[in-house]
Structures are given as C-alpha cells and as structure tokens.
Structure 1
C-alpha cells in the first residue's frame, strides 16, 4: 500500500490551514490601522481554496458528478499524484469602519476616522477553526505513519 498520497493530502491541508492562520493574524494585526491621507487603507484578506476542476461547476447534480469523478480518480490504482487545491489570498473589498473621533489627527471634516474593516471576532473564529483543522491534519498524518509502521512490523515478523 502506498502511504505517500495520504501524507501528501495531509501536507496540503496543513499548508492551507497554516495560510489561513497567517492571514487571520495579519488581519488582526491591522485591525486598528487608520486610513492614511492618500485614502488608501488596509483591506482585510481571505484565503479561498478550491479543488482543481470543481470550482467552475454550479451546485447540484454537477457537484455530485464532479465529486464522483474525484473519488474514481482517487480509487484508480494508477493515480499517483495528489491534486493540490488552488489557493488564493484575496482582499474582501469591505468599506472602511468609520469611528467618530473628532480629536484624532486623521479625522475627516465630520470627525470620523476610517479604520480597516477588520472584524476581530470573525478573525478569531477563523483562526481557531484553522488551528483545529491543522490539528486534524496532523492527527491524520500521525495515524497514517502509525499504520505504515505497524504494516512494516507485521511484514518483518513473517
């Protein structure tokens, strides 16, 4: 049995989840960034990951057919390479969060300061879910490693 695909799947999952944690940390670090004089402010980012070949399909029966094709590809004995998902980091393009602070040096004529549109609660939830998913991938990799070592032990005892 070839365990390299199981290791590769876990590694890809851990890479995506690490990126999600990094992006959430970057968003949290810039949560109180003020829009500068030039009008450019920090835009919160999101990680979008999708399986190759599935993203263009609409929901419904096409997704079921695509999933069946991916399962058949995974069950094919000749399929060696693991199709890594496409991962993109995209800005949310959310409008800035306006806070009334008339004494702030960067306040506009009405007394509002434009902060980055980062929702700290959403970012913390995103970071916690990415951490849990990373831990699940580590657990899957450790289980695969244990199975491989046990298979080697069984093979050496015969």
Structure 2
C-alpha cells in the first residue's frame, strides 16, 4: 500500500504547487492596470521525501519580475509627472493568461492522477475483502 500513498503524496504536492501558481497568476491579472505593480513569479523546486527515493514538488519563494515598468502617457492621471507620464505595471496579460492555462492543465492532470490512484487503492481493498 506504500506505493499508493507515495503516488498520492506526489500528486498532492503537485496540486498544492499549481494552486499557488494559479493564485499568483490571478493576482498578476487583477493588478495588470495598477500603477507601479510588478509581476510576481513563483519557481518550483524539488524536495526529497525523507527516507524514500521519491521527490516532491514545492513552490519556491515568490519573486518580483525585474522587467522595466511601462511608461504611460496620460496627463490627466493623478500620478502623472510634469511630462504627463506615470509608471504602469510590467504585467503582460497574454503571458499571464497562457501561464494560467498551463497551470490549470497541470492542476487537472494532477487531480486526475490523484483520483485514479485513489480508485485503484479502493479497488484493491475491495479485491482483498473478497
């Protein structure tokens, strides 16, 4: 039964990582028009599961994208300087939406793997009861 719990642990770590990634991407999309907002990125790291040869995925530290902020011309904006410019965000909605679709697909794949492993364990227990 250890193989089933190992598989469930791996898929659960993937679900947690993709969930955090989706939350971070949602924050980026929500703040795309916020002046001075910097895009957040989150890397994934592997984590050795103690005592086994299995690796789990875990999210790393959230970091800010160092790409330059967009300079927007709008003299009527309250943050505009004497030249009529202010700093917007460095969020590219096309990239964020593409990343969100990828994260959603990965989350769904981990969820399907979790469900399939759970069903296999349940079926095995049913067979052993007979």
What TM-score range do you get, normalising by the shorter chain?
0.7 to 0.9
Equivalent pairs counted in the alignment come to: 128
Q: 1:20-35 counterparts in 2 under 5 A?
A: 20-34=21-35
Deviation at 1:52, TM superposition (A): 3.9
Indicate the RMSD between aligned Cα atoms, in angstroms.
2.1
Query: Is 1:19 paired with 2:20?
Result: yes
Higher RCO structure, 1 or 2 (CA under 8 Å, sep 6+): 1
Deviation at 1:99, TM superposition (A): 1.5
Match of 1:46 among 29, 36, 41: 41
Q: 1:114-125 counterparts in 2 under 5 A?
A: 114-125=87-98
Residue in structure 2 matched with residue 68 of structure 1 by the alignment: none
Structure 1: 5+ residue stretches without partners: 35-40, 54-72
TM-score by length of 1: 0.73
Structure 2: 5+ residue stretches without partners: none
TM-score by length of 2: 0.87
Deviations 1:73-108 (A, max 9, x none): 9xxxx6287544352211112211111112222112
